[in-house]
Amino acid sequence: MSISMRQDRPNKNVAGPVQAVIFDWAGTMVDFGSFAPTQVLIDAFAGFGIEISLEEARGPMGLAKWDHIKTLGQSPDIARRWIARHGSAMTDKDVDALYAAFLPLQIERVGQYSSVIPGALDTIAGLRKRGIKVGSCTGYPRVVMNPLLDKARGDGLVPDHAVATDDLKPGGRPGPWMALANVIELGITELSSCVKVDDTAPGIVEGLAAHMWTVGVALSGNEVGLTLSELERISDAEREQLKGRAAEKLFAAGAHYVIDTIADLPQVIVAIEERLAHGDRP
């Protein structure tokens, strides 16, 4: 276990203790390695005669899924494959068609990949003992979020609030709206007393845009992209190398802290509350 912290100069204004933590879902609380979105995207593109790799599918992770698909279609390599197969560049109508193919597959399979990440239940129970509320948001639309919530409840994971990417008209990440919707619903009085936890760069940017502390998740998330069993089989040196690369991307996005998995979050909450007590703000 390790925790890293961004080095910068704090903005000193008085704020209270941590009031809420806003979690991402896949790669953060459930779905170690974030496979539910990526595998289905690969299958959806295959249905249109386009082969994409797991690494390519992971690239825009954190965005709303329609935006994710469009971003993939605009990447140079995939765009060339699409033109070679279909004779012209991907249009918004093509994105609509891909999304329509993706959605039922995602609804069907989200539960298959979304086991609770080790340490999540204990961490959330510990937050509640400290009087901290538990919010959440996701790149999934509501029709995917609802079966995911049902699966999570059955596993004992019950957030105080959950926002799907299509619940709000302004849209999803990297804008701050889903994080701020949690603030409103949970009755939070100070943005700088909130912590956003996410395994993707757009999720970190979301938290910063909402003026929250941000915590990146490296080993269980999209940037490393391995199952727990795969991660346990590799050497310590390889694991550290993968973690370092993931942390670099999350820090580059603006993360204040980077942890291995959600199990390491309690120590960061203590550190943030100490900083808040000294007048620091994100």
- Same domain, yes or no, for 121 and 205? yes
Structural domain boundaries enclosing 262? 3-34+114-281
* pLDDT attached to residue 2: 64
Q: How far is residue 271's CA from residue 56's CA, in Å, rounded to a whole number?
A: 36
- Same domain, yes or no, for 85 and 10? no
* The pair of three-digit structure tokens given for residue 63, joined into one six-digit string: 């965005």
- Same domain, yes or no, for 118 and 206? yes
- Same domain, yes or no, for 151 and 266? yes
* pLDDT attached to residue 16: 64
Q: How far is residue 90's CA from residue 102's CA, in Å, rounded to a whole number?
A: 16
* pLDDT attached to residue 177: 96
- Same domain, yes or no, for 138 and 256? yes
What is the domain-level CATH number for residue 47? 1.10.150.240
Instruction: Look up residue 133 and give its DSSP letter.
Output: E
The residues that are catalytic are 24, 65
Q: How many domains are contained in the chain? A: 2
- Same domain, yes or no, for 26 and 43? no
* The pair of three-digit structure tokens given for residue 214, joined into one six-digit string: 């941000």
Q: How far is residue 136's CA from residue 148's CA, in Å, rounded to a whole number?
A: 12
- Same domain, yes or no, for 128 and 169? yes
pLDDT tens for the chain, 282 residues long, are 666 666 554 444 445 699 999 999 999 999 999 998 888 899 999 999 999 998 899 888 888 889 999 999 999 999 999 999 999 999 999 999 999 999 999 999 899 889 999 999 999 999 999 999 999 999 999 999 999 999 999 999 999 999 999 999 887 889 999 999 999 999 999 999 999 999 999 999 999 999 999 999 999 999 999 999 999 999 999 999 999 999 999 999 999 999 999 999 999 999 999 999 999 999
Question: Which of the listed residues 113, 146, 179 is the one where a domain comes to its end?
Answer: 113
* pLDDT attached to residue 62: 81
Q: How far is residue 229's CA from residue 222's CA, in Å, rounded to a whole number?
A: 15
- Same domain, yes or no, for 136 and 224? yes
- Same domain, yes or no, for 211 and 234? yes
- Same domain, yes or no, for 191 and 136? yes
- Same domain, yes or no, for 119 and 240? yes
- Same domain, yes or no, for 272 and 169? yes
Question: Which of the listed residues 113, 146, 181 is the one where a domain comes to its end?
Answer: 113
